[in-house]
Amino acid sequence: MTSTWGRFLASTTPAPIHPPDMSMQLLPKELRLQIWALAYYNEPPRLVALETNPHDEDHDETHFCPRYSPSPAPVTVNLCHESREEARYQAMKANHILQVPCSNSDTGCGEFYFRIDTDILLLQLEGTRVKHYDDSPEVGLLAHFSHATGCDPQELQKVAITKVILNGFRDGSLSNVLRDFPKISHMVMMLTNEILEDDLEKELFVRAASRIVRMYKLDLMNLATSQGKTFKPHPFNVDFARLHHGRLDIVSKDVWRDWSDGGEEWATLDNSEPFW
């Protein structure tokens, strides 16, 4: 038999409080779609790489290798069916779904998401993932991107560059391709652990990066002259970074400006300094 005291406790014990159901499904569909669209456009810049698929390499530099992007799609593409459909709709409307042409009909070149005014194109030209003709000025990664469909490739604004010392001092093929993208506003120069552990290498890295930037500016000036226009520098920025678990680990300018006697004044298209 339940005691009087037990019945009192049972009658006075408050019922458990359940948090309100905050499920997106409780919102009107129109509002949910607006949320997915905002989430898609406001995702921070993604690092998007191009890589070469295994293929029959018995071809010369008149044909593109089959290439794809191994980079994850935007977050909203992987949340649920509704968010994926809305993200794709917004991407198609904004010309954010790209594909690069493929000369080899047996190996497909899949489409990938790339917000050309926001995301960063990674040109991975060193390491175990580098394959056939990736660094070719005619049919390499960057040259291949210039033929991408689904967008205007010349609108490319952000690029991450590897093999900086080689490209700055000994191999001009990168500069020969960068000139085809006149609206680049952000270059990320990719560091390696070997460079970070050697003071001489760090100084060479800064000098090489500055040469790449100055050569790019010179090419833009020549382009303006050929069009009968006056060169007007657009906003431009340079970062140094390491690749860490698929993300950019940015090195502060306060750190790398002391790696050489060149400072950071060269890291803009407004500079008029000579080459080192």
Local structure of residue 25 (DSSP, 8 states): G
User: Is the pLDDT confidence value at 274 over 70?
Assistant: no
| Whole-angstrom distance, CA of residue 41 vs CA of residue 33 | 12
pLDDT digits (tens, 9 = 90+) for 38-67: 999 999 999 999 988 888 777 777 788 888
CA distances from 64 to 33, 99, 145, 154 (A): 39, 13, 10, 19
- pLDDT confidence of 276, banded at 50, 70, 90? very low
Provide the mean pLDDT of the chain.
86
- Supply 196's token pair: 């970070």
Q: Which of 3-12, 90-99, 192-201 has the lowest mean pLDDT?
A: 3-12
Count of residues making up the chain = 276
Percentage of the chain with pLDDT > 90? 57
The per-residue pLDDT for 76 is 95
pLDDT digits (tens, 9 = 90+) for 218-245: 999 999 999 999 999 999 999 999 998 8
- pLDDT confidence of 14, banded at 50, 70, 90? low
Other Cβ atoms less than 10 A from the Cβ of 90: the count is: 19
The per-residue pLDDT for 67 is 87
Other Cβ atoms less than 10 A from the Cβ of 79: the count is: 15
CA distances from 220 to 120, 225, 239, 269 (A): 21, 9, 20, 9
- Are 180 and 154 in contact by the 8 Å Cβ rule? The answer is yes
The per-residue pLDDT for 52 is 86
pLDDT digits (tens, 9 = 90+) for 125-171: 877 777 778 777 777 888 889 999 999 999 999 999 999 998 888 87
| Whole-angstrom distance, CA of residue 99 vs CA of residue 69 | 9
| Whole-angstrom distance, CA of residue 33 vs CA of residue 29 | 6
Other Cβ atoms less than 10 A from the Cβ of 40: the count is: 23
Q: In the predicted model, what is the mean pLDDT of residues 177-193?
A: 94
The per-residue pLDDT for 53 is 81
pTM value surpassing 0.75? yes
